[in-house]
Amino acid sequence: MMKKGLPAAAALATMLLATMPAAHAQGGSDSLLRNQSRIIDQAVGSQARQGVQQGARQATGGTATVAARAVNLRAQPAQAAPVLGVLPQGTLLTVTGPAEGAWTPVEHQGRAGFVVTSLLARNR
């Protein structure tokens, strides 16, 4: 996900790196690399991390309701995975993580598993 300020931050990091002094004779290149990494992380990394964290917050947590007549709660995100239970339409689930392919990790009455995402209605 690209944020508005990210290109500007990258340009700033590039400018700062170009103005850094040359490496010192003893171990200077290691020090220079650490400084470059720190500058890039501060200028670009923090904005990128914020975008990832915001996306994760939006994708996880909250609740979803079973929208289909009934869905299988599976042990893993796969059609061949063991069925832990059958959840009827209207069942309220807690979303426990980001979707994994076509599957959403959920919890229901203390039992964790996966449900096909397209069979759920997200509650905001």
Report how far residue 124's alpha carbon sits from residue 80's, in angstroms, rounded to the nearest whole number.
Answer: 30
Residue 66's pLDDT is what? 97
State the pLDDT confidence band at 124, using cuts at 50, 70 and 90.
Answer: confident
Domain ranges of the chain: 6-59, 63-123
Say which residue, 57 or 79, is predicted with more confidence.
79
Out of 2.30.30.40, 3.90.850.10, 3.40.50.10860, 3.30.450.70, select the CATH number for domain 63-123.
2.30.30.40
Decide if pLDDT at 59 tops 90: no
This prediction's pTM: 0.54
- Residue among 111, 102, 46 at smallest CA distance from 75: 111
Residue 112's pLDDT is what? 96
Residue 22's pLDDT is what? 46
State the pLDDT confidence band at 61, using cuts at 50, 70 and 90.
Answer: confident
- Residue 86's SS3 state is strand
Q: How far is CA 24 from each of CA 31, 53, 64, rounded to the nearest angstrom?
A: 8, 38, 57
CB 67 within 8 A of CB 115: no
- Residue among 57, 123, 53, 47 at smallest CA distance from 90: 123
